[in-house]
Amino acid sequence: MKRSSLFIIIILLLSSLTILNKQVSAAEYRLVVAMYYEPPPGGHLNFFVSGCAVSSSELWGLVVEQLAHYFCLNDTYKPWLATSWEIKGDEFIVHLRKGVTWSDGTSFTAKDVVCTFWILRLTNHILWNYIDDVKAIDDYTVSFHVKTPSYLIQYYVLTYPILPYSIYGEYSDKTMEYVKKGEIEKLPSLLANFTAFRPTKFIGTGPYVLASLTDSQQVYTKRPDYWATLQGIAKIYIDKVIVLRVTSDPQAAQLELASAVDYDECGGFVLGQIEEVPKRLNATFVIHPLFSGAAIFFNFKVYPLNLKEVRQAIAYALDLDKVASAGYPIHIIETRQTGFTTTTVKMFISEEVYKSLHDYSYNPEKAKKLLEGLGFKKGPDGVWVTPNGTRLEFEWTIPAGYATGRCGTLAAAMLTDFGIKINVRAVEPPTCYRKLVEGDFQILSWFWGGALPLPWFSAETWTYDYSPKITGYPGPSFPVVYEWEGKLVNVTKEALELNVGWDPLIHKSRVELLAKIFNEYLPFIQVCQKGNPLFINFERLEWPPLYEPDGSPSPWTYTYEGNLAWIIVHGLVVPKELLRLKALEEAAKAGEEAKTVAEMAKSAAEEARSAAEVARSAAEAAQASASQAITISSVSTVISIIALIIAIIGILRRRSPG
């Protein structure tokens, strides 16, 4: 009976181990992200054109990859599609990794890199202000010819995602041909055709492929043939990444509280969300710095918004801290408006210059005096009127559901109370951005700033990004030339000069000049610089450490530049169910090993028992032999005694007479 029970236990253990192995191998592990994207049919697959549904830098690295991965928070590059890079004279040389394949199975080569950057020439990317040629030296070496040394060359070359020649080669080849032949006049027509180009598939070198795209979600599935896995430099536990489309911060907050997403950077902008989430879930928010924020844009073609005194008055009429708090729980207010981030201000602007700037702290009385100085008066209904009878009444366009839109709504109410009547119009975020680019607005809420805390990434907002030469549209009609201290200053030229040289710190005086001009003319109002609350859910996944030993956010928590994909690829995001099954599998293996040890112990016991039986038999035989010997010895003794007695009797008889 005991042997039968032991056999059944062994069978159950082996069965459990088999089932666990099947569960581990068959389970599908998912990561769910909340993010806005433009859905089809408007959302398309041309990566280089505004409106691409899969171009968000939050998801770089899932499908499209970079030559190197850049961690903004500690200014570190990690080689990826490139293995190394160097500056040789007037060339920036990049050495590519061998053995990389696209998701269609074809090889990644220098041809793809050259294609990508010639497309950027077609789309007027700023990189081409500092280079004038890109060519393949061989299949795995690319040369960028430096026209003007700039620290931006390394950044843009290494971090811009590489796209395949097989999709975009026709346009890159024509761009290269027209430029090298000097037929620059043909580029606008080619750009128009390229802007309308809509690829039917999305190919990348990354670990995932785009499986489906709808108006509610994107689904990315893991490649079984991912090159980095085959080369042993990637370990991926996530089988599928699902991106849920969110159209507002409150919607994202609801998904977070329902534990429907694992990663999100939207919901934390809802007031109280940061405090509420940890109370309900095994989740948290990591606040990392952003080098951008909410902004109020003016259309310079609209009178009297084209007057700097009117823009100054609007700035004084707004309590920026209250305005920012309507959308951003974590924010920085800079009342001395410079157009730059606080980091840039500290690094590049002297205290003397900074203190000389206008301080646009909330001051309705100053706002009133500025308007009165222009001859404006309030009408019977309390709305300001210009000397020519134009009422200060404007439409304010905001992105519906966005934090900056909530800031705009409150600011509009403040201006209405002040006597500048505002009618708020909420539109879908892509529509809001399109109106900004096309100049189809009067006042509009959007964003300023960029990816890095360096001067250019702030200055480009009002000197470059919305220029008709770049977008082909009028935008806010920012002036290019401003009068300053009796001279005319071309701010676009000055801003582009910020990038000349390998060290940006040589341009402190130029940053100060641009800050002074911005502070006086206020091309837009910086509402705030925002901190970004990144939602991390621990309910289903184990994440890498959120903070450095000094308490600062870990570099991967910066939500852009593809950091999410980087930690997925390197095995730093692990499903808890996988960990549980692995633990059970280890326990089962330990049980099997214990069973083996028990069997060995049982066998040894059986052998010991058999040996004991043999020993007992031998002992019994020895005992029998000993008894027999004793009996024989006793008989021998008796016989000896009898013989002795007989001998004695014989002697006595011989001695007796007769």
Note the pLDDT tens digit of each residue in 200-242: 999 999 999 999 999 999 999 999 999 999 999 999 999 999 9
pLDDT at 282: 97
Taking a C-beta distance cutoff of 8 angstroms, is the pair 127, 180 a contact? no
Instruction: pLDDT band for 617, please (50, 70, 90 cuts).
Output: confident
Q: How far apart are CA 550 and CA 150, in angstroms?
A: 32
Give backbone dihedrals phi and psi of 53, rounded to 5 degrees, phi first: -75, -15
Instruction: pLDDT band for 619, please (50, 70, 90 cuts).
Output: low
Taking a C-beta distance cutoff of 8 angstroms, is the pair 339, 275 a contact? no
Taking a C-beta distance cutoff of 8 angstroms, is the pair 303, 390 a contact? yes
Instruction: pLDDT band for 123, please (50, 70, 90 cuts).
Output: very high
Q: DSSP for 78-107, please give it.
A: EESSEEEEEEETTEEEEEEPTT-B-TTSPB
Note the pLDDT tens digit of each residue in 385-412: 999 999 999 999 999 989 999 999 999 9
Give the predicted TM-score (pTM) of the model.
0.80
Q: How far apart are CA 97 and CA 231, in angstroms?
A: 11
Instruction: pLDDT band for 645, please (50, 70, 90 cuts).
Output: confident
Quote the Cα angle for 432-60-453, to 5°. Answer: 70
Instruction: pLDDT band for 42, please (50, 70, 90 cuts).
Output: confident
Give backbone dihedrals phi and psi of 68, rounded to 5 degrees, phi first: -145, 150
Three-state secondary structure call for residue 481: strand
Residue with the two structure tokens 């030559």:
67
pLDDT at 625: 65
Q: How far apart are CA 481 and CA 491, in angstroms?
A: 6
pLDDT-above-90 percentage for the chain: 75
Greatest distance between any 2 Cα atoms in the chain: 190
Q: How large is the angle between the packed helices 110-122 and 187-196, nearest 10 degrees?
A: 110
Taking a C-beta distance cutoff of 8 angstroms, is the pair 528, 406 a contact? no
- 355-380 average pLDDT score: 98
**Which region among 56-70, 81-95, 204-218, 616-630 has the lowest average model confidence (pLDDT)?**
616-630
Contacts of residue 503, defined as CB under 8 A and 6 or more positions apart, other chains included, come to 151
Note the pLDDT tens digit of each residue in 461-505: 999 999 887 778 899 999 999 999 999 999 999 999 999 998 999
pLDDT at 10: 45
Instruction: pLDDT band for 24, please (50, 70, 90 cuts).
Output: very low
Taking a C-beta distance cutoff of 8 angstroms, is the pair 532, 286 a contact? no
pLDDT at 56: 85
CATH number listed for the domain at residues 289-531: 3.10.105.10
- 147-155 average pLDDT score: 95
* Stronger pLDDT, 29 or 623, i.e. the higher one: 29
Q: How far apart are CA 541 and CA 575, in angstroms?
A: 4
pLDDT at 627: 67
* Stronger pLDDT, 289 or 416, i.e. the higher one: 416
pLDDT at 471: 79
Residue with the two structure tokens 């043999």:
614
Note the pLDDT tens digit of each residue in 272-331: 999 999 999 999 999 988 899 999 999 999 999 999 999 999 999 999 999 999 999 999
Note the pLDDT tens digit of each residue in 434-466: 999 999 999 999 999 988 889 999 999 999 999
- 587-596 average pLDDT score: 71
Q: Can you list the alpha helix ranges (DSSP code H) found in 258-360?
A: 273-280, 308-316, 320-325, 342-348, 351-356
Nearest to 459 by CA among 499, 426, 417, 412: 499
Instruction: pLDDT band for 643, please (50, 70, 90 cuts).
Output: low
State yes or no: pLDDT of 348 exceeds 60. Answer: yes
> What's the CATH number of domain 36-245+540-572, 3.40.190.10, 3.50.50.60, 2.40.100.10, 3.30.465.10?
3.40.190.10
Tell me which amino acid residue 143 is: S
Number of Cβ within a 10 Å radius of residue 640? 10
Q: How far apart are CA 521 and CA 289, in angstroms?
A: 27
State yes or no: pLDDT of 19 exceeds 60. Answer: no
- 586-603 average pLDDT score: 71
Nearest to 241 by CA among 267, 273, 208: 208
Burial 133-165 (b: 16+ CB within 10 A, else e): bbebeeebebbbebebbbbbbbbbbbbbbbbbb
**Structure-token pair, residue 340:** 């730059």
Note the pLDDT tens digit of each residue in 511-533: 999 999 999 999 999 999 998 89
Mean pLDDT of the chain: 90
pLDDT at 560: 83
Nearest to 295 by CA among 452, 444, 464, 458: 444
Number of Cβ within a 10 Å radius of residue 278? 11
